[in-house]
Amino acid sequence: MGQKVVIIGGVAAGPKAACRLKRLDPSADAIIVEQDRFISYGGCGIPFYISDDIPNEKELMSTSFHVIRDEKFFLEGKGVKVLTRTRALNINRSEKKVEIENLDTGEKDFLEYDKLVLATGSIPNVLPIPGSDLGNVFTVSNINSALKLKSMITRGKVEKAVIIGGGAIGIEMAEAISDMWEIDTTIVEYMDHLLPFMFDYNFAQMVKAELEKNDVKVYVGERVESLEGDSQGNVRKVITNNRTLDTDLVIMCVGVRPNDELAKKAGLAVGDKGGILVDKHLCTSDPSIYAGGDCILNTNLLTGKRMYLPLGSLANRHGRVIGSNLAGKPETFDEVVGSFIIKVFDICAGSAGLSLESALTERINADRVLTVGYDRAHYYPTRSLLYLQLVVDKQTRRILGFQAIGDNNDAVSVRLDSIVALMQGNFTVDKVSNLEIAYSPPYASAMDSLNALGNTAANFLDGLYKRMEVKEFLDIIGDLKKHNAIILDSNAEIAAKPYVEKFGDSWLNIPYMDVRRNIEKIPRDKKIITICDSGIRSYEIQLLLNSHGYEDVICLEGGLNLINKMGIKIV
Amino acid sequence: MGQKVVIIGGVAAGPKAACRLKRLDPSADAIIVEQDRFISYGGCGIPFYISDDIPNEKELMSTSFHVIRDEKFFLEGKGVKVLTRTRALNINRSEKKVEIENLDTGEKDFLEYDKLVLATGSIPNVLPIPGSDLGNVFTVSNINSALKLKSMITRGKVEKAVIIGGGAIGIEMAEAISDMWEIDTTIVEYMDHLLPFMFDYNFAQMVKAELEKNDVKVYVGERVESLEGDSQGNVRKVITNNRTLDTDLVIMCVGVRPNDELAKKAGLAVGDKGGILVDKHLCTSDPSIYAGGDCILNTNLLTGKRMYLPLGSLANRHGRVIGSNLAGKPETFDEVVGSFIIKVFDICAGSAGLSLESALTERINADRVLTVGYDRAHYYPTRSLLYLQLVVDKQTRRILGFQAIGDNNDAVSVRLDSIVALMQGNFTVDKVSNLEIAYSPPYASAMDSLNALGNTAANFLDGLYKRMEVKEFLDIIGDLKKHNAIILDSNAEIAAKPYVEKFGDSWLNIPYMDVRRNIEKIPRDKKIITICDSGIRSYEIQLLLNSHGYEDVICLEGGLNLINKMGIKIV
């Protein structure tokens, strides 16, 4: 028998490490210890199990060739022994053994190891507020809570639900329960917009609008202060700093934290705010102990700093790298940029790298541009609008972050994953302009919307493109006269009509094709805000006016399409 | 008035250069000369116009805000003058003027320039065979021939059509006319597989199978020798070295060549086989003359050599770079990898970089791996199989090329464009293993199929994965006994049954979960070919047998899924 390897944690990184190890070093004795009954399941599929897109939980636990990934599967298929319902209590590093407890029998034992892997995952946060221990208050932590939640929902006992936390899981759960089960659903988010850290305001607002369009109520910038229950001890009310919400169910989606208790007790190095520290080989401060998955800190490629990024995709890749290293085949795990994607009813939203807010928090001299364009040739029947944003370093022009929203399946992934790949080379926005997005009318534009985003970023950094943000526009639109500003709308007359009716001579409509001939109609003593549907024609007109000596000209970014997508009505 | 810029060519690169110039330097006097009546149209949309996905040709000529891009549009909207039906006859470089002719009046004139842009595009090849000048023999060269072709088809005069050339345009046209107009369609391709240079055999075969599944007949490795007509002078027969095909229509799609006549006459540097030579700024050998689009040669990032790559997407990007340089803002156009994508009935096929055939022709020490996996979480209902191939440098592990086929819209683009972006950094296969494809079950797998491709390539280069190609498998399967080989099939019993019935004891079925317990049943004196659905389990079993001392074990790449997708029936 070869080396003894003990792996603590049986969901993602752990099994991956064990199986890769056994493939490279079949003589190894690999044993996985997992406190739960279930192992190696697709935890990220839980919202889709709740929504019944995936009717049976077994599917989350099966291989692509329909075999349940249980103890038998790992033993007979992979040659890996798994102890479920077994908790690792302590690591004795000097004697290289792990104390374990069988949770069914209470029996304790020791496992000796040559190498140890910590894949202990994360722990869902629970708000420290009164009532958080009431009945029917859930976290989306594992398959057990998912089974309980779905059973409650399918019994038709839930009319109203409140989701605390408007991050990815909160939003996925909101869609799952409101769409399929027609539950009156409310999201309460403490930060001032949904999906903080992943999205800046405009994109978060588009997600909020999509949720609201689908009858999910969303309150942002609101703090949940307590939960109140009924006489059976089940939650009935959610009390925030602004309102009281009746409810039959609360799902707390307020983030997770690394489960690093064992590591800490064993004296391994962890980050200031938790999370096991590992080197490039995913080795901890003890050369015999590796760690991967949601219990470790990754290093951010863009900031060079450690960050906590609990993603199933990273966990799987960690597992493979650990497996290789265990087998004596040195492999490294590079810095990460953090890529994120979410389905929200009929839209897809994705991001990578730093949001502008995050970049500014890191004191990077950053800014951002936003474009609206089609995801395929504008004449191709299935085309749909894509909203894209690039966050850039103003000094170096380096790509720092990306955000995208679109309607067509995978159209966001195309641009998002391409930018993630470009980030690996530390490229600048200029590389985005000429990236060879494969072109055919059913899939992209000849000048793809991603290229156009690069062009816009370059124009912005070069001082050609002067942009007004939506927030600023909404501030000014209420009293254009006070700001001595007028709107110059280059849309067609018919599209502009309701705006002209509402805003009168503060809304000057000169269709795009007529502007060059009518320059003299545009006042020289006012601030000019150029607008169109998307921000493309209005940019051209901003430049045209600049070339005619107009200095105070600014272009509304994203145009009326963006405003509409953000759910804002100005007429 | 500022600098005078004359642009010859009004389809893609030309108008783009003119408009970018005018945005950056509004004082410039930009004039486009175009021999055709139509300008600035989406030529790549022609097959979709023929298929009626795009019913009206005006859509190919309109902006995304529904304005026809004609002379008036360019003059009033962009400040660019366009002379249509005007041919540039000669360039007088010493006097810096272009002789032009009005094709309607025959009138000749001169245009003076400070800077000149050549965007003269390409010329479709016509086979030098008897009958190529018959009636109803078309090329897909421009909107005029498209109008004529569609008019003929919609009048219901066409029952049978032959397409000569199985490249991208030939295939798109085959789908267009056979699917919508129910024309009995045949493709004849001279090379031994479809889409030569873009795809290697396996992928080309999957495209062929998809065409045949949709009733398009395909003959590869067949030379068209002559066309024969009727008494009205219209084509009626296509005669190849193998057969005679009746037809009402011939579409010749045998490639295009750079339209570099003007450049040659003016003494500008061109490549040995044609194509204008330009530097990084897209400037020709004359510092006052730029060139872009289908008339120039690009430089290949992977080989460092010049190549001819007539793509609408590159033409547009050339145009923009030229526009910037004309305006005194130096910009460069980088080396290209060549990205390609095509819709073929219900599949999408894409490639980038070098095919293995091309890489070997370039005498690069290259090889390739192929994987089959899902495009999203295997438990997500809309998942579909993706067939991916990576071409790699065996010495340096550098990514050289990529090929992909899938059923879901955009799922191919996601992986293709990501690899194109990675190629910019000259990365190795190891970067593919950990690329952060944004993960959520509706969009990708936790370990995405692209990551799995990287893993497989690494395993292959590390000597772990030993692969049998489909071609080799088909050679050997006819007489396994002669080759002293057996198939070890790890699929479930029910799936394996028809194979076992046909191949008897040469087809040993031991389901995946049972292999470890039944090693002794596997003969030690034979070559073992491990197979499963996709090549994943069979790889594991290859390693397992290796670890038990079996040396002559080889894994069928892509498994039975690939064989099926290639349209091959072995039972």
What CATH number does the domain containing B397 carry? 3.50.50.60
Average pLDDT on B113-142 reads 96
* Residue B571 located in a structural domain: no
CB B565 within 8 A of CB B405: yes
Contacts of B54 in chain A (CB under 8 A): 379-381
Contacts of B314 in chain A (CB under 8 A): 436
Q: Which residue of B has its CA nearest to A451?
A: B317
Contacts of B317 in chain A (CB under 8 A): 433-434, 447, 451
Contacts of A343 in chain B (CB under 8 A): 440, 442-443
**Final residue of a structural domain among B326, B360, B375:** B326
CB B361 within 8 A of CB B370: no
* Residue of A64, A280, A427 to mutate for B, most B C-beta atoms under 10 A: A64
Any residues with CB less than 8 A from the CB of B569 and at least 6 apart, and which?
Answer: none
Tokens of A569: 């009505």
Q: Which residue of B has its CA nearest to A347?
A: B442
Tokens of A70: 């249980």
Q: Which residue of B has its CA nearest to A376?
A: B410
Q: Do A439 and B411 touch (CB under 8 A)?
A: no
**Separation of alpha carbons B522 and B551, rounded Å:** 13
Judge if A315 and A216 occupy the same domain.
no
Q: How confident is the model at residue B141 (pLDDT cuts 50, 70, 90)?
A: confident
What total number of domains does chain B contain? 4
Which among A168, A382, A516 is the nearest to B76, CB-wise? A516
Judge if B480 and B514 occupy the same domain.
yes
Judge if B17 and B104 occupy the same domain.
yes
Q: Which amino acid, one-letter code, is at B522?
A: I
Q: What pairing do the DSSP bridges indicate for beta strands A385-393 and A366-374?
A: antiparallel
Residue tagged active-site, from B19, B44, B283, B555: B44
A120 interface with B at CB cutoff 8 Å: no
Phi, psi (deg, nearest 5) at residue A384: -150, 160
Chain B segment 331-360 residues within 8 A of A by beta carbon are 331, 333-334, 336-343, 348, 350, 352
Q: Do B317 and A27 touch (CB under 8 A)?
A: no
pLDDT in single tens digits along all 571 residues of chain A? 699 999 999 999 999 999 999 999 999 999 999 999 999 988 899 999 999 999 999 999 999 888 999 999 999 999 999 999 999 999 999 999 999 999 999 999 999 999 999 999 999 999 999 999 999 999 988 889 999 999 999 998 899 999 999 999 999 999 999 988 889 999 999 999 999 999 999 999 999 999 999 999 999 999 999 999 999 999 999 999 999 999 999 999 999 999 999 999 999 999 999 999 999 999 999 999 999 999 999 999 999 999 999 999 999 999 999 999 999 999 999 999 999 999 999 999 999 999 999 999 999 999 999 999 999 999 999 999 999 999 999 999 999 999 999 998 899 999 999 999 999 999 999 999 999 999 999 999 999 999 999 999 999 999 999 999 999 999 999 999 999 999 999 999 999 999 999 999 999 999 999 999 999 999 999 999 999 999 999 999 999 999 999 999 999 999 999 999 999 999 9
CB B238 within 8 A of CB B245: yes
Average pLDDT on B267-279 reads 98
Q: What percent of chain B has pLDDT over 90?
A: 96
User: Catalytic site residue B532?
Assistant: no
Q: Do B443 and A413 touch (CB under 8 A)?
A: yes
CB A218 within 8 A of CB A566: no
Q: Which amino acid, one-letter code, is at B458?
A: A
Tokens of B561: 């899924």
Alpha-carbon A383 to chain mean position: 24
Which among A16, A311, A434 is the nearest to B333, CB-wise? A434
**Separation of alpha carbons B338 and B440, rounded Å:** 29
Contacts of A410 in chain B (CB under 8 A): 408-411, 413-414, 443
Query: Using CA of residue A87, residue A88, residue A89, residue A95, what is the dihedral sign?
Result: positive
Q: Which residue of B has its CA nearest to A455?
A: B320
Tokens of B415: 């992986």
Average pLDDT on B492-503 reads 96
Which among A23, A343, A379 is the nearest to B440, CB-wise? A343
Cβ burial, residue B471 (10 Å; 0-12/13-18/19+): exposed
Query: Would you state the pLDDT for residue B216?
Result: 98
Average pLDDT on B200-221 reads 98
Shortest distance between the Cα of A4 and any Cα of chain B, in A, equals: 18
Phi, psi (deg, nearest 5) at residue A131: 95, 0
pLDDT, one tens digit per residue, over B176-210 is 999 888 899 999 999 999 999 999 999 999 999 99
Q: Which amino acid, one-letter code, is at A423?
A: M
Judge if B112 and B13 occupy the same domain.
yes
Judge if B228 and B180 occupy the same domain.
yes
Judge if A488 and A506 occupy the same domain.
yes
**E strand or H helix that includes residue A118:** strand A115-118
* Residue B334 located in a structural domain: no
Instruction: Give whole-number Cα distances, B345 to A89, B294, B406, B425, in Å.
Output: 58, 27, 11, 34
Tokens of B7: 């642009």
Cβ burial, residue B87 (10 Å; 0-12/13-18/19+): middle
**Final residue of a structural domain among A424, A440, A461:** A461
Judge if A228 and A296 occupy the same domain.
no
Distance in Å from the first CA to the final CA of chain B: 76
* Residue A338 located in a structural domain: no
Query: Would you state the pLDDT for residue A219?
Result: 98
**Final residue of a structural domain among B417, B436, B461:** B461
* Residue B130 located in a structural domain: no
Contacts of A352 in chain B (CB under 8 A): 436, 438
Q: Where in B4-71 does DSSP place strands (E)?
A: 4-8, 29-33
Instruction: Give whole-number Cα distances, B248 to A27, B51, B138, B158, B179, in Å.
Output: 68, 18, 11, 6, 17
Tokens of A189: 């988010």
Any residues with CB less than 8 A from the CB of B475 and at least 6 apart, and which?
Answer: none
* Residue A472 located in a structural domain: yes
* Neighbour count for residue B386 (Cβ, 10 Å): 26
Contacts of B382 in chain A (CB under 8 A): 409
A181 interface with B at CB cutoff 8 Å: no
A428 interface with B at CB cutoff 8 Å: no
Crossing angle (nearest 10°) for helices B411-423 and B449-461: 50
Query: Would you state the pLDDT for residue B518?
Result: 97
**Separation of alpha carbons A46 and B546, rounded Å:** 38
* Residue A65 located in a structural domain: yes
Judge if B88 and B148 occupy the same domain.
no
Q: Do B379 and A333 touch (CB under 8 A)?
A: no
Query: Would you state the pLDDT for residue A180?
Result: 83
Which among B64, B352, B377 is the nearest to A42, CB-wise? B377
Q: Do B379 and A45 touch (CB under 8 A)?
A: yes
* Neighbour count for residue A215 (Cβ, 10 Å): 12
A448 interface with B at CB cutoff 8 Å: yes
SS3 A324: helix
Alpha-carbon A281 to chain mean position: 26
Judge if B264 and B249 occupy the same domain.
no
B434 interface with A at CB cutoff 8 Å: yes
Q: Do A512 and B65 touch (CB under 8 A)?
A: yes
Q: Do A380 and B516 touch (CB under 8 A)?
A: no
A463 interface with B at CB cutoff 8 Å: no
Judge if A109 and A23 occupy the same domain.
yes
Chains A, B: CB contacts within 8 A come to 302
pLDDT, one tens digit per residue, over B425-471 is 999 999 999 999 999 999 999 999 999 999 999 999 999 999 999 99
Query: Would you state the pLDDT for residue A157?
Result: 83
Judge if B422 and B505 occupy the same domain.
no
Q: Do B44 and A336 touch (CB under 8 A)?
A: no
Average pLDDT on B70-78 reads 96
* Residue B414 located in a structural domain: yes
Domain ranges, residue B351: 346-461
Contacts of A77 in chain B (CB under 8 A): 512-513, 516
Judge if B449 and B559 occupy the same domain.
no
CB B320 within 8 A of CB A455: yes
Average pLDDT on B522-531 reads 98
Contacts of B534 in chain A (CB under 8 A): 64
Long-range contacts of B24-27 (CB under 8 A, 24+ apart): B24/A464, B24/B323, B24/B324, B24/B327, B24/B328, B24/B329, B25/B326, B25/B327, B25/B328, B26/A543, B26/A544, B26/A547, B26/B79, B27/A547, B27/B1, B27/B2, B27/B3
B493 interface with A at CB cutoff 8 Å: no
Average pLDDT on B221-235 reads 98
B330 interface with A at CB cutoff 8 Å: no
Residue tagged active-site, from A19, A44, A283, A348: A44
Query: Would you state the pLDDT for residue B292?
Result: 98
Any residues with CB less than 8 A from the CB of A82 and at least 6 apart, and which?
Answer: A10, A31, A32, A34, A39, A70, A71, A74, A75
Q: Do B436 and A338 touch (CB under 8 A)?
A: yes
A395 interface with B at CB cutoff 8 Å: no
**Separation of alpha carbons B332 and B203, rounded Å:** 34
* Residue A237 located in a structural domain: yes
Query: Would you state the pLDDT for residue B408?
Result: 87
Q: Do A42 and B431 touch (CB under 8 A)?
A: no
Closest CA to A343 of A454, A214, A448: A214
Query: Would you state the pLDDT for residue B179?
Result: 86
DSSP A86-107: EEEEEEETTTTEEEEEETTT--
Q: Do B77 and A543 touch (CB under 8 A)?
A: no
Query: Would you state the pLDDT for residue B139?
Result: 94
Q: Do A547 and B492 touch (CB under 8 A)?
A: no
Shortest distance between the Cα of A360 and any Cα of chain B, in A, equals: 24
A180 interface with B at CB cutoff 8 Å: no
> For the domain that residue A550 is a member of, what is the CATH number?
3.40.250.10
Contacts of B371 in chain A (CB under 8 A): none
**Separation of alpha carbons A188 and A193, rounded Å:** 10
* Residue of B56, B440, B541 to mutate for A, most A C-beta atoms under 10 A: B440
Closest CA to A390 of A425, A437, A438, A422: A422
